[in-house]
């Protein structure tokens, strides 16, 4: 059914594109009456980057980005389309302070300035630190960042804490996405792209009046691509793309002062995903005969390739990543007097149905790993904006309720006994000990939050503005986690006081557990910004923000003690306490043909929420803990220049110094793990000493946070010239976008085995377009076929295995689009 829908949608969109091409010439002669064509602008380059103001809604009101005393990156829909940045993951190549990591849609991290979501596998029990908003609706799941942008007008990346206006989930920043709205003049657009790896993408949108007071807009998008990694076990290409999205909106405007918009959307992903490749092995402190090379030899196993950029794997668990997300919203905007009252009521859902290979090999060690979940969230926001010559303010209230249910299954296979039981134990040669051992995990989370907030801008003089903001927030989380364990014969394994060697070996893999963690708290956050207009086009500002991220509960199980009892102290984590300082300068010069913005910042976090892993299969998904303190500081600069309509260019750069200031009981990296735990008076062995002595935990104070490059840059340019093609007047153009980032750690505690080398990516496009919106161009991304990793993962059990996710190779293709 899904394939049929996709083929129908693709064919329909191609037809719409053909109609659009035919009507482009007519559109050149007759633009919609009474409506000036809008110009999409961005920090980068695009077809309509002719200068002028970039309009944003970062402070919940419409204003120029150069008027906002805030570090903000703005990418217009035109630039998103032309650079192939069709989701947040690709957007990071244009905004160097944005980091995106994803091993699958659920396990996705979106960070700004190195902060946001703990690096590693997702835990539902905490908030994200980068809020994602689409048309004022909060999306609580980072998985929403993996979907294709759908009819997007503009993306604003707000850097630094945004707790006053955007809430507790924005200690690192927010991504504010605005879609194109229904219009009372008929308009449409269509786009079709094809490329290597059987890439096919189609987009279409149509908008217009249904009556004098009612307008509608409908947008659809479909993306399909063959995978980039070949699995020799299943004879399939994995890491494919198979995305489908639809969004509809109805706008009722009974008077000039009242807009009521009803919106609904649905998106699905059904990719052959998500896998990994063998990267390397490194010595741990486990006994040498229990490390990867010895275990693989004992089982007669060799990875299909030891060169990760052969892009070949042999994962033996069927892979699945079915992902559905959608919802509905009702937005009411009523203008009266000098203010606007806005109400946003929304419901969102998210259904996740995965299957993963968690041993990262072609051996039947972990035969099954899947944790499907279902989420519903409900939000209500009510706010009032007021503007006058002397003051602007916004006050509001926000309510949030979320329910997540998860049903997990983790099962071991025939090779597990030999892999996980010491060779000196006779049970290691008995496959039946662990073959079929299965854990069924049931969990739910109820998350309730409510807030009152306000922000005031007092224009003391035409040049000087004082901006205080406050937010009062209440949070409550109720969770439940149960793990039941059964052996291969279907007998339940209980913690009933009985024991034998076989049961001990099985409990070392999965331990029954049942916990009901709870958390509730009140928090008060505030900020204060002073801005001063030094000259008509020069704005200086300074900000202090006191923010927080709500405390959390561990929803994936907690470690156990020597008696296999859950360590309940690990069931909850404290709220993060954030102090943020920032100063910036926003300038335009050369008759506003050039823009230069500069910001310096420092963020101090106490009780930083870190995702850790102690090597137990039962908590392989990771659990949460508080690091003592974290600091992120740095400098960011954005420069763009548009000397004429024939050329524009930009350079954006960031230096980020983000480190653990105090984390004395962190999980150790693999080279310091797997040995006998150091006792009183014992000193740990040197890193990578087989059979050595391992510290119980490690002091990583001073180490760089994972996922963060100290240096990152994005840059690009576009040049065009008048040209006539097939009787149509327009312009030919050549565009380039590049990005560079330095090395970064891919493990919560830095390991010599998991540093990812810095890399650079270079994208080109060339084509012909008309003012009416007809555009035909070819493109190449990662033009120099750079080999790089998006992420490295440490295999379970301290065997020294390192697996990885290679970034996309060179891709190229051809796009035709038209507005009509």
pLDDT at 622: 57
Mean pLDDT of 62-82: 89
461: which residues sit within 8 A by CB, 6+ positions away? none
pLDDT in tens, 278-314: 999 999 999 999 999 999 999 999 999 999 999 999 9
CB 228 within 8 A of CB 40: no
3 state SS of 817: strand
**Calpha distance 335→385 (Å, rounded):** 9
Cα–Cα distance, 299 to 297 (Å, whole number): 5
Mean pLDDT within 28-51: 39
Mean pLDDT within 181-193? 97
C-alpha span between 442 and 405 (Å, rounded) = 8
The span from the CA of 206 to the CA of 204, in Å, is 7
- Give the pLDDT confidence of 537-595 residue by residue, as tens digits: 999 999 999 999 999 898 888 877 777 788 888 888 899 999 999 999 999 999 999 99
Answer whether residue 724 shows pLDDT above 90: yes
**Confidence band, pLDDT 50/70/90 cuts, at residue 16:** very low
Looking at the 3D structure of the chain, how many domains does it have? 1
Do residues 323 and 349 touch, judged by C-beta distance below 8 A?
A: no
Question: Exposure string (b/e) for 433-449, b if CB count within 10 Å is 16 or more?
Answer: bbbbbbbbbebbbebeb
Which residues 6+ apart lie within 8 Å of 28 measured at CB? 728, 729, 770, 771, 772
Measured CA to CA in angstroms, residue 21 lies from 36, 372, 733 at distances of 21, 44, 19
What's the pLDDT at 51?
52
Mean pLDDT computed over 628-648:
95
Distances (CA, A) of 472 to 131, 405, 466: 17, 28, 21
Of 490, 544, 549, residue with least CA distance to 117: 549
Q: What percent of the chain stands above pLDDT 70?
A: 92
In 3D space, the residue among 172, 158, 37, 296 whose CA is nearest the CA of residue 707 turns out to be 172
Q: Is the pLDDT of residue 33 over 70?
A: no
d(CA 39, CA 51): 9
User: What is the C-alpha end-to-end distance of the chain, expressed in Å?
Assistant: 31
In terms of Cα–Cα distance, which of 703, 610, 699, 708 is closest to 659?
Answer: 703
CB 366 within 8 Å of CB 411:
yes
DSSP class of 431: G
Residue that the structure tokens 């659809």 belong to: 220
pLDDT-based confidence at residue 90 (cuts at 50, 70, 90): confident
DSSP string, 537-558: TEEEEEEEEEEEE--EE--S--
Assigned token pair, 360: 């990262």
How many whole angstroms separate alpha carbon 466 and alpha carbon 36? 36
pLDDT for 569: 82
User: Given phi > 0 = left and psi -120 to 50 = alpha, else beta, which region is 711?
Assistant: beta
Structure-token pair, residue 534: 């030094």
The string of DSSP letters for 395-420 reads: EEEEEEEEEEEEEEEEEE-TTHHHHH
Is residue 477 helix, strand or coil? Answer: strand
- How high is the pLDDT of residue 476? 96
Report how far apart, in Å, the C-alpha atoms of 187 and of each of 31, 86, 201, 794 are. 10, 22, 21, 51
The CATH number of the domain holding residue 465 is 2.40.170.20
Answer whether 165's CB lies under 8 Å from 394's CB.
yes
**374-390: per-residue pLDDT in tens?**
999 999 999 999 999 99
pLDDT for the residue numbered 120: 66
- Structure confidence by residue, pLDDT tens digits, 770-805: 998 899 999 999 999 999 999 999 998 899 999 999
pLDDT per residue as tens digits for the range 730-771: 999 999 999 999 999 999 899 999 999 999 999 999 999 999
Query: Would you say residue 429 has pLDDT above 50?
Result: yes
Whether the CB-CB separation of 328 and 339 falls below 8 Å is answered with no
| Token code pair at residue 602 | 């420092």
| N residues, the chain | 820
Which band of pLDDT confidence, cut at 50, 70 and 90, is reported for residue 38? Answer: very low
> SS3 for 272?
coil
The answer to whether the bond into 274 is cis (omega within 30° of 0) is yes
Q: List, for residues 215-227, the tens digit of each pLDDT value.
A: 999 999 999 999 9
* Residue 639: count of CB within 10 angstroms of its CB: 17
The mean per-residue pLDDT over the stretch 182-193 comes to 97
Strand ranges in 356-504 using DSSP code E only, listed in sequence order: 366-370, 373-387, 391-412, 438-459, 464-486, 492-493
Q: Which domain holds residue 584?
A: 2-819
Residue 102 reports pLDDT greater than 90: no
Q: Which residues pair with 344 in a beta bridge?
A: 331, 381
Please report which confidence band the pLDDT of residue 4 belongs to, taking 50, 70 and 90 as the band edges.
Answer: very low
pLDDT in tens, 109-152: 889 998 988 776 677 888 888 999 999 999 987 777 778 888 99
């Amino acid at each position: 059914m899904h394939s049929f829908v996709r083929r129908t949608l693709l064919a329909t969109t191609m037809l719409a594109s053909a109609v659009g091409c035919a009507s482009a010439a007519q559109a050149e002669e007759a633009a919609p009456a009474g409506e000036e064509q809008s110009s999409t602008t961005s920090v980068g380059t695009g077809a309509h980057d002719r200068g002028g103001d970039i309009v944003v809604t970062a402070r919940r009101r419409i204003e120029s980005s150069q008027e906002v005393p805030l570090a903000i990156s703005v990418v217009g829909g035109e630039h998103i389309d032309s650079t192939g940045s069709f989701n947040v993951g690709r957007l990071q190549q244009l905004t160097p302070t944005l980091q995106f990591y994803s091993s699958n849609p659920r396990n996705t991290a979106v960070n700004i300035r190195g902060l946001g979501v703990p690096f590693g596998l997702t835990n539902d029990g905490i908030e994200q630190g980068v809020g994602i908003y689409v048309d004022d609706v909060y999306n609580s799941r980072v998985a929403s960042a993996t979907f294709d942008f759908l009819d997007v007008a503009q993306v604003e990346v707000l850097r630094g804490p945004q707790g006053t206006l955007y809430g507790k989930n924005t200690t690192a920043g927010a991504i504010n996405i605005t879609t194109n709205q229904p219009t009372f003049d008929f308009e449409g657009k269509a786009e079709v792209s094809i490329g290597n790896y059987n890439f096919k993408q189609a987009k279409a949108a149509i908008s217009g009046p249904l009556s004098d007071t009612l307008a509608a807009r409908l947008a659809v998008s479909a993306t399909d691509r063959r995978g980039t990694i070949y699995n020799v076990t299943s004879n399939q290409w994995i890491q494919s793309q198979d995305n489908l999205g639809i969004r509809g909106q109805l706008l009722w405007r009974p008077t000039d002062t009242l807009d009521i918009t009803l919106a609904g959307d649905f998106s699905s992903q059904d990719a052959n995903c998500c896998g990994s490749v063998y990267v390397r092995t490194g010595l741990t402190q486990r006994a040498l005969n229990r490390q990867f090379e010895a275990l693989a030899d004992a089982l007669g196993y060799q990875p299909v390739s030891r060169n990760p950029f052969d892009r070949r794997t042999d994962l033996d668990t069927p892979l699945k990543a079915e992902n559905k997300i959608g919802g509905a919203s009702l937005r009411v905007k009523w203008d009266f007097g000098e203010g606007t009252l806005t109400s946003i009521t929304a419901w969102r859902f998210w259904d996740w149905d995965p299957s993963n290979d968690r041993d990262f090999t072609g051996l039947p060690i972990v035969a099954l790993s899947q944790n499907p979940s279902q989420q519903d969230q409900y939000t209500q926001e009510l706010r009032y904006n007021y503007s006058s010559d002397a003051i602007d303010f916004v006050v509001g209230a926000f309510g949030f309720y979320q329910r997540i249910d998860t049903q997990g299954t983790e099962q071991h296979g025939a090779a597990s006994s030999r892999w996980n039981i010491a060779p000196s134990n006779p049970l290691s040669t008995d496959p039946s000990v662990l073959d079929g051992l299965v854990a069924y995990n049931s969990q739910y989370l109820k998350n309730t939050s409510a807030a009152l907030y306000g922000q005031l801008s007092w224009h003391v003089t035409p040049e000087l503005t004082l901006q205080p903001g406050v937010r009062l927030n209440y949070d409550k989380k109720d969770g439940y986690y149960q793990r039941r364990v059964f052996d291969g014969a279907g007998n339940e394994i209980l913690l009933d006081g009985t024991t034998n060697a076989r049961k001990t070996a099985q409990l070392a893999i999965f331990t029954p557990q049942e916990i009901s963690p709870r958390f509730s708290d009140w928090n008060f956050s505030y900020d204060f910004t002073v801005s001063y207009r030094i000259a008509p086009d020069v704005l200086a500002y300074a900000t202090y923000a006191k923010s927080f991220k709500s405390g959390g509960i561990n929803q994936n199980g907690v470690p156990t003690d020597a008696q296999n009892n859950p360590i309940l102290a690990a069931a909850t984590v404290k709220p993060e306490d954030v102090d943020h300082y920032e100063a910036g300068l926003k300038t335009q010069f050369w008759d506003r043909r050039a823009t230069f913005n500069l910001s310096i910042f420092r963020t101090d976090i106490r009780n930083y929420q870190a995702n850790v892993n102690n090597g137990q299969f039962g908590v392989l998904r990771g659990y949460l803990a508080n690091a003592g303190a974290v600091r992120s500081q740095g400098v960011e600069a954005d420069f763009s220049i548009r000397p004429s309509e024939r050329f524009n260019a930009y350079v954006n750069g960031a230096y980020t110094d983000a480190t653990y200031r105090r984390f004395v009981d962190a999980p150790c990296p693999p080279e310091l793990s797997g040995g006998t735990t150091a006792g009183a008076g014992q000193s740990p062995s040197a890193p990578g000493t087989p059979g050595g002595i391992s510290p119980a935990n490690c002091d990583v104070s001073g180490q760089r946070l994972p996922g963060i490059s100290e240096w990152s840059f994005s840059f690009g340019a576009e040049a065009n010239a008048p040209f006539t093609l097939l009787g149509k007047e327009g312009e030919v153009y050549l565009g380039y976008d590049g990005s560079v980032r330095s090395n970064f750690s891919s493990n919560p505690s830095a390991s010599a085995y998991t540093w990812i080398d810095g890399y650079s990516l270079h994208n080109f496009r060339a084509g012909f377009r008309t003012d009416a919106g007809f555009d035909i161009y070819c493109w190449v991304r990662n033009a120099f076929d750079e080999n790089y990793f998006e992420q490295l993962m440490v295999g379970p059990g301290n065997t020294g295995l390192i697996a990885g996710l290679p970034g996309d190779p060179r891709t190229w293709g051809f796009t035709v689009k038209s507005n009509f």
